[in-house]
Amino acid sequence: MAISDYWRAFQQRSQWVRENLLLDEALEQYEERLVREWKEQFLIMREGLREDSDHPAEGRAFFNRLLITGQHISIRPSFPNPFVMRGSFHMLANALKVGWHPQFEERLAKAFEKAIRLVE
């Protein structure tokens, strides 16, 4: 479903831009709204973690709360379909701007450090 949402959102957003129905600035503002909402919810999720929490399970639950059962954040008032929001979140995750695992930022930093050491 994530792949389907990603591609449907990508196609819809591209169509709006091609047909001059949505400006690039509007997409940037929409993504900023999504990132702000993600940050708020991500911090709430992390605050609720215990030391012995199952981080992958908590990440899946966070994903489900935000993307599936959470409040729909519409890109346009006249287009209430949630696949654009869900697909846009996946695009942001691919761009490493959001993540679902409670420690995704720390894990990415370690992976980047390791990759840099291998290149040096």
Q: What is the pLDDT of residue 108?
A: 87
What span, in angstroms and rounded, lies between the C-alpha atoms of 49 and 112?
25
pLDDT of residue 62: 93
3-state class (DSSP) for residue 114:
helix
Residues 6 or more apart whose CB falls under 8 angstroms from that of 89 comprise 34, 38, 66, 67, 98
Q: Would you call 79 helix, strand, or coil by DSSP?
A: strand
Residue 76 pairs in a beta bridge with 79
Could you tell me the residue ranges of all domains in the chain? 2-119
Report the chain (120 residues): mean pLDDT per 10 consecutive residues. Answer: 92 91 87 95 92 91 87 85 93 93 88 85
Helix or strand holding residue 47 (H, E):
helix 24-47
